[in-house]
Amino acid sequence: MRLPQQELSIICLANTQNLYGLTQQLFRLAEHLAPGAFPPAPPVATLPAGPATDLPGIYLEPTSLTNVRIITEQDGLLRAARSNRGYAQPLRATTPDTYVNQGQGETSYAFARAEDGQVRHLRSVERGNAIVLQKTAPAALSQAALHRYTGRYYSAELNQHFRLTQRRGQLRLSLYRLVHVPFVALEGHRFLADLQGHNCVAFQLDPAGKVTGFTFHREAINGLVFQRQR
């Protein structure tokens, strides 16, 4: 973490597998070391009653699949994470369907509704860069449905194999048979995974419904092709 105006950088070396819990600890340490770098938080706005309860969900960039925002609600606060196991940053309301992150408020979140009143999209703007994400429903898959995606997949571009397994009721990416990265199932044969940030895989099926491969998506990687070997 870098605070240029305070000429302060914080580097954390930790012997832990819980990489996702470190972010919040770094923020707390930075606030302790340089309290002037963080303006006092304005009064926290709770979720409005009624329609705003439909804001939480998974919002995925529909074309590239390279960006996601996981919007959750906890103790009356909306929170936004950039991956399914990432740090969930608390938000404050500016209007019933518009939020900014607590603190400096440099990132805005505007929820868009269709004519029927249902939330369909999320427009996020950070430092002038805007992305539009589509609300995407999770998929509840049976053990048999998950099994169809398991197998060994090969990328000719990387000359690398990925092995997908079924473990504890989840589809997982097995790395060296030691690390098992869980997937979160979405509609449309897509899955989210958190491995050093957001990742998305989109499976392809033949006319008979058999899985033939998938494309891999994350920031700076769009559509890396993996073919199923077995």
Listed residues 89, 105, 136: the one ending a domain: 136
Q: How does pLDDT run across 154-202, given as a tens digit for each residue?
A: 999 999 999 999 988 899 998 877 788 999 999 999 999 998 899 999 9
* 44 is a domain residue: no
Do 121 and 114 touch, CB atoms closer than 8 A?
no
25 & 101 share domain: no
- 44 φ/ψ angles, rounded to the nearest 5 degrees: -75, 130
Neighbouring C-alpha atoms within 13 Å toward the C-beta of 50: 4
Kindly tell me if the per-residue pLDDT of 47 is higher than 60. Answer: no
Confidence grade of residue 21 (pLDDT, cut at 50, 70, 90): low
Find the domain containing 196 and state its range: 143-228
How many Å apart are CA 99 and CA 104, to the nearest integer?
A: 12
**Strands 129-136 and 151-155, bridge-based pairing:** unpaired
Q: Name every residue whose Cβ is closer than 8 Å to that of residue 141 and which is 6 or more positions away in sequence.
A: 185
If one compares 25 and 175, the residue with the highest pLDDT of the two is 175
> What is residue 50's predicted lDDT score, i.e. its pLDDT?
37
214 & 151 share domain: yes
Picking from 110, 63, 24, the residue whose alpha carbon sits closest to that of residue 217 is 63
> What is residue 22's predicted lDDT score, i.e. its pLDDT?
67
Do 228 and 213 touch, CB atoms closer than 8 A?
yes
> How does the average pLDDT of the chain come out, rounded?
86
* 43 is a domain residue: no
Confidence grade of residue 146 (pLDDT, cut at 50, 70, 90): very high
Kindly tell me if the per-residue pLDDT of 48 is higher than 80. Answer: no
Do 176 and 161 touch, CB atoms closer than 8 A?
no
* 70 is a domain residue: yes
Record the tokens describing residue 211, joined without a space.
């899985």
If one compares 205 and 28, the residue with the highest pLDDT of the two is 205
Number of domains in the chain: 3
26 & 94 share domain: no
DSSP letters for the chain: -EEGGGTEE-------S-GGGHHHHHHHHHHHH-GGGSPPPPPPPPPPSSGGGG--EEEE-TTT---EEEEEEETTEEEEESSTTS--EEEEEEETTEEEESSS--EEEEEEE-TTS-EEEEEEEETTEEEEEEEE-B----HHHHHTT-EEEEETTTTEEEEEEEETTEEEEEETTTEEEEEEEETTTEEEEESSSEEEEEEEE-TTS-EEEEEEEETTEEEEEEEE--
80 & 127 share domain: yes
* 46 is a domain residue: no
